């Protein structure tokens, strides 16, 4: 039924295409809502996110966002929006920590130094794939063992790239940022809004 509805929608010239968000992240859903975009469907994807040998962090995040979108091809006649966000120190990708011990190691590595957050966005629509990569630089102040302990107890590190959430308690760690704050949270809003507008998806006025 959903395919029939989306096909009918696509057949109307100038009609807004269906938007499928390929992410289980509540943060990305909240960010889209901030700019008045409500996905028609949410279809999280399961792909192998193992980095390839010799793959640069920039190439990695682009590939993961693209493969997430490609995994959903055929589920709609509309648009598929996917993204990937990674915390990077040098060429090392700090993914989602497996446990508190790994989260501690990540925070100790980030303490008192600068790192990058890379967010890639992929938008598939009518046989075309639009892609954007946004890089944000952040510097953390030195973190004491006690500060790291308190952060770990908060459980905020769970499911977060690099072991922290900039929109939460870790906002007190960042002394400097250059780039897109929303990209660090999970979706660069200015770039995403431009990509969506290009396929006819804009803020809903109702």
Query: What would the DSSP string read from start to end of 94-147?
Result: E---SSHHHHHHHHHHHTTSEEEEEEEEEEEETTEEEEEEEEEEEEEPP--HHH
Q: Point out which residues pair with 41 in neighbouring strands.
A: 20
Catalytic residue among 40, 84, 99, 149: 84
* Burial of 166 from C-beta contacts in 10 A (0-12 / 13-18 / 19+): buried
Number of H helices, E strands in the chain: 7, 7
- 3-class SS at 9? helix
Of 146, 135, 70, 78, residue with least CA distance to 108: 146
71: DSSP letter: H
Instruction: Please indicate whether residue 40 is annotated as part of the active site.
Output: no
Give CA angle at 60 (55, 61), nearest 5°: 160
Contacts of residue 52, defined as CB under 8 A and 6 or more positions apart, other chains included, come to 60, 63
Query: Known catalytic residues?
Result: 84
């Amino acid at each position: 039924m959903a395919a029939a509805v989306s096909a009918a929608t696509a057949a109307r010239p100038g009609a807004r295409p269906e938007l499928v968000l390929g992410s289980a992240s509540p943060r990305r859903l909240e960010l889209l809502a901030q700019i008045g975009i409500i996905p028609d469907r949410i279809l999280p994807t399961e792909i192998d996110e193992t980095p390839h040998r010799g793959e640069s962090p920039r190439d990695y995040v682009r590939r993961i966002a693209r493969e997430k979108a490609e995994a959903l091809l055929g589920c709609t006649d509309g648009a598929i929006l996917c993204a990937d966000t990674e915390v990077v120190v040098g060429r090392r990708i700090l993914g989602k920590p497996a446990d508190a011990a790994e989260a501690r190691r990540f925070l100790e590595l980030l303490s008192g130094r600068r790192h990058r957050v890379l967010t890639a966005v992929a938008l598939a629509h009518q046989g075309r794939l639009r892609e954007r990569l946004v890089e944000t630089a952040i510097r953390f102040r030195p973190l004491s063992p006690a500060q790291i302990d308190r952060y770990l107890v908060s459980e905020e590190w769970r499911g977060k790239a690099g072991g922290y959430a900039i929109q939460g308690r870790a906002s007190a760690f960042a002394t400097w940022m250059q780039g897109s704050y929303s990209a660090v949270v999970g979706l660069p809003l200015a770039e995403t809004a431009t990509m969506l507008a290009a396929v006819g998806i804009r803020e809903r006025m109702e």
